[in-house]
Amino acid sequence: MARRVPHAQTLRLYIGGRWVEGAQGRVVELRSPATGGLLAEVAQAEPEDVRAAVVAAQEATGQAARLSVWDRARLCHRVADQIEARADELARELSEEQGKPYLSEALPEVHKTVEGFRLAAEEAKRLNGEVIPAEDSHKRVITIRQPRGVYAVITPWNFPMNIPTEYLAPALATGNTVVWKPSSYTVRCAARLVECMEAAEVPPGIVNLVYGPGSTVGHALVTHPVVVGIAVTGDANTGEVIAGEAAGKRLLLELGGNGPVVILDDANLEAAARCVSAGSFLNAGQVCSASERILVAQAVHAPFREAMVAAASAVRLGNPLDETTTMGPMNNRATAEKMDRHLQDARTKGAQVVAGGSRASGFPTDLFYEPTILDNVQADMLVFQEETFGPIVPLTEVRDDVEALELANRTSMGLVASVFTTNLRRAFFFAEGLQAGTVVVNDASTYWELHLPFGGRAGKRSGYGRLGGKHTLMEMTDLKTIAIDLHNA
């Protein structure tokens, strides 16, 4: 247990509409990845706190379900209004806590959070059922969508406001209730988002917030018998543990990626380099749809490599609150250490570092990593096989389209892939052949809009179900069939 620091802000749990200490009064420190400075002390939940939060959510299910769709939509819009009114403050705190640049990334994330609540509000109004013709002439058959009940929502630290909104806004719009466990690295963002929901007068118990390790708090949450649905964004290993613990519950899992990017010999290399740079260095590479394996045709390998070296040199690494910074620190030590391991393994097996390749010096913490270009990457290297989740561009040379497709699909992940070509036939060859839930042609693998369906391919380790717009609302509701006999009425 961390000792209490005088005058440090304490972030409390939010259960049943009240901000409360954890049952045992434990706290841990929350520090900035950019400066190492203390941001807050964080109350730690115990299993009994989780149980209390689930009870509060269960008790609120009746009220949530009785709200009309238009009432729920108005609630979502009010939450969006509160976030919008605090956008600058929220973005600066997000930048301090997560590490992403304030101007280019944190502020846009807050604006997307506003948009996410507004989108859920409007999509809920269009969540239609249907009238189904029946063989029996006396029957009239209709379908409706109904809330499921208590959802456990578990979210990561890389987009600490937008990713939670992908679940919280649809849950609110469809009449479910939530117990939310955010990442321990970004609890202040979570508390601020709940403050906005409280200020918008979301009824007590509909959203509850608990902090703590997944091994205790997360386990107690996903295994609770009252919880009927689990919504998670995280890495594949965590998702698989949760899926096992939550057997029989409704699952919506958006897990890791190891996104291949194929650069063909007829590609617009200037555009491809620009897009790969964005896909690899956005959020210091800490994105599930990041450009993680770059498969480059032999004929354009050398010029593309030089273009990527130039792109890496243009990245401005620095304090995320400095408006000239284009890349901040990595968020936490475990993620930076994984980058270290992948680079060491690649070097040992013959890859060449042609730009970057180590942690940057001269900063307050050791979490700043140089934008890195790695050449001659082979399929037996960890950087090829696993999701690195760091600011790296690993280049692999390919002979032809067939080899490119085979190598692109040589992964257990299947979230997002992209291909660069000016030939329509080749574009469709890869669009249809790449084993991913999303394939992007001639743009960054990180291309994304709030309403688009997003998720992993069946048979891969990138998750189940689809996030995005109406698709999330459909995932978080039950489809009920109602058959009415007019003859016996």
Q: What is the mean pLDDT of the chain?
A: 97
Joined tokens for residue 100: 């992403």
Encode pLDDT of 52-108 as tens digits.
999 999 999 999 999 999 999 999 999 999 999 999 999 999 999 999 999 999 999
Residue 256's φ and ψ, nearest 5 degrees, are -75, 170
- The verdict on whether 96 is a catalytic residue reads no
Domain 10-255+466-479 annotated CATH 1.20.950.20? no
> Would you list the DSSP string of 116-145?
HHHHHHHHHTT----EE--SSTTEEEEEEE
Tokens of 160: 């600490």
Q: Is 94 helix (H, G, I), strand (E, B) or coil?
A: helix
Count helices and strands (H / E) in the chain. Answer: 15, 21
pTM for the whole structure: 0.97
* Residue 142 CB coordination number (10 Å): 13
Q: Residues of CATH 3.40.605.10 domain(s) within the chain?
A: 10-255+466-479
Q: Tell me the two tokens of residue 402.
A: 């067939």
Annotated active-site residue 288? The verdict is: yes
Q: Which residue, 401, 406, 315, 399, is CA-closest to 356?
A: 315
Residues of the chain with CATH 3.40.309.10: 260-449
Task: Pick the catalytic residue from 254, 292, 370, 387.
Answer: 254
Q: Cβ(384)–Cβ(396) under 8 Å?
A: yes
Which residues of the chain are modeled with pLDDT < 70? 1-8
Contacts of 237 (CB under 8 A, 6+ apart): none
Report pLDDT digits (tens) over 120-178.
999 999 999 999 999 999 999 999 999 999 999 999 999 999 999 999 999 999 999 99
Type of residue found at 181:
K
**Domain 260-449 part of CATH 2.60.40.10:** no
Residue in 46, 288, 292, 475 annotated catalytic: 288
Give residue 3's pLDDT. Answer: 46
Both tokens of 13, joined, read: 């749990």
- Where do the DSSP E strands lie in 376-468? 392-398, 416-420, 438-441, 463-464
